[in-house]
Amino acid sequence: MNKIPYASTKVAPEQTKAEIEKLLKEHGIKDIQWTMFEGRTTLKFLHHVTVKGVERTIGFTFQPPIIPSTIRQYNNKTFRYEKVSINNEPVAYRLLFWYLKSKLEAVEYGLQSMEKEFMAHIMVSLPTGEESTFGEKLEQALEHSANISEFQALPYEPEKSASEQKKVIIDVPKTD
């Protein structure tokens, strides 16, 4: 494995979180949430987009990666130093910051739309009430599909036949 980027960072995770919030706000994202649950931090934010005249809200979710590091820590019970594996949060948050920054710049300068650039991180709610990301559902579908033609990332409703579709006909009288 290559050397971990930002391994020598001295920036505290809290400062990086503040920088991430500032970065998102600079790109027009106002709805931002940090959550700590079961020892994992999650960043969620909402993006508002107008599609064919209809405003839509898309949620995105991210977790800083787990970057294991070994440190020497004093053990008060054994009265000696021991090697302990920890999650290197300063590095994890710097990676997340630079990841978001590069993607937001790609959107800003027209390389990709927000939806396409962050597609794997789009939050989806399934009929079961389960909440996940598009990327997680895609991975699960690919793992369970022996044939790519059988692939379905999300549940879908089959198209209705022409006889099942409702039609509305409006008769407008002609005026002379």
Q: What is the pLDDT of residues 15-71, one digit of tens each?
A: 999 999 999 999 999 999 999 999 899 999 999 888 788 888 999 999 999 998 888
- C-alpha span between 126 and 83 (Å, rounded): 43
Tell me whether residue 159 is in a domain.
no
The region that residue 97 occupies, defined by phi over 0 for left and psi between -120 and 50 for alpha, beta otherwise, is alpha
Contacts 24+ apart (CB under 8 A), 46-54: 47/114, 49/114, 49/115
Tell me whether residue 154 is in a domain.
no
Tell me whether residue 44 is in a domain.
yes
Domain interval for residue 22: 13-149
Tell me whether residue 61 is in a domain.
yes
Please state the domain count of the chain: 1
- C-alpha span between 131 and 121 (Å, rounded): 12
Tell me whether residue 6 is in a domain.
no
Tell me whether residue 3 is in a domain.
no
Provide the pLDDT confidence category of residue 173 given band limits of 50, 70 and 90: low
Q: Give the residue from 66, 39, 64, 67 showing the smallest Cα distance to 121.
A: 64
